[in-house]
Amino acid sequence: MRYAYYTLAFLVLLTVSIMGFRGLVTTSAPVMVFPDMDNQSKYKPQASSKFFADGRADRPLPPGTVPHGRTAAADPAFLRADDAHYAGKNADGSFVRRFPVAVNPALLQRGADRFAIYCQPCHGALGDGQGITKAYGMVATPSYHDDRIRAMAEGEIFNTITNGKNTMMSYADKLTPADRWAVIAYVRALQRARHATLADVPADQQGELK
C-alpha cells in the first residue's frame, strides 16, 4: 500500500511539474526522440560552400540544359526558337516581310477582336488614327494607311507591338505572339480594303459592286 502512495505522489508531482512549465519561452532546442530527418546536412539557396572552387553552393546549369522531354523541335514555344514567329526577325536580324503563321478567316477574326480592344481606341476602327483618344488631346496617332506604314515589314510592326515606339507603350503583356500576328493580319486587311480596286475583287463577285 505504501508503494501505491509513493507512485501516486510521483505522478502528481510529475503532472504538476509538466503543466507548470507550459507557456514558458525557451531558447533550448526541443528533445527529439525521433528526429524523422528534420535536421539534414544540406545547403540552402545562395549559401556559401568551401567544397566548390567558386565558393557557391548553387551550381550553374550546363549550357543548353532543358527540362526532360522538352525540346525546341517538340515545343518551339518553350525556347521561342523560331525568331520569325517570336521576334519578327530573320536569322540575319532583319525584319520579316511575311507571316510566319497561316492567314485564314479564324486568324482575321481573332485579329479584329484584339484590335477592337487594344488598338481601336487610339488608331480608330478603320485604322485611320481617328480613335476616341484624339478627342482627349492625343493628336500624334499615325494612320495605318500612310505609305510609310503600308510599306513597313510585318516583322517591324510585330516589333513595335512587342516593344512599343515613341509614345506607344509595349503591348507584349497584353497580346501573345500569336495574337500580335492576328492583329497585324487584320491591319493588312484594313489597308487592303482602303486601297482596294475592282481588280482585287474575285471576278464572279464584281457584278455585285456595279
Query: pTM for this one?
Result: 0.63
Q: In this predicted model, what pLDDT tens digit does every residue of 2-22 receive, in sequence order? A: 777 778 888 888 787 776 666
- What is the structure's pLDDT at 27? 80
- What is the structure's pLDDT at 71? 58
Using the CB atoms, write b or e for 177-187: b if 16+ within 10 Å. Answer: bebbbbbbbbb
- What is the structure's pLDDT at 20? 64
DSSP string, 150-195: HTS-HHHHHHHHHH-BTTBPP-TTTS-HHHHHHHHHHHHHHHHHHT
With a pLDDT cut of 90, the percent of the chain lying above it is 47
Band (181; pLDDT cuts 50, 70, 90):
very high
Q: In this predicted model, what pLDDT tens digit does every residue of 46-69 receive, in sequence order? A: 899 988 899 999 988 888 777 666
Average pLDDT for residues 150-165, to the nearest whole number?
Answer: 94
Average pLDDT for residues 81-103, to the nearest whole number?
Answer: 92
With a cut of 60, say whether residue 72 has pLDDT above it.
no
- What is the structure's pLDDT at 161? 96
Average pLDDT for residues 170-183, to the nearest whole number?
Answer: 95
With a cut of 70, say whether residue 167 has pLDDT above it.
yes
The CATH architecture to which 105-198 belongs is: Orthogonal Bundle (1.10)
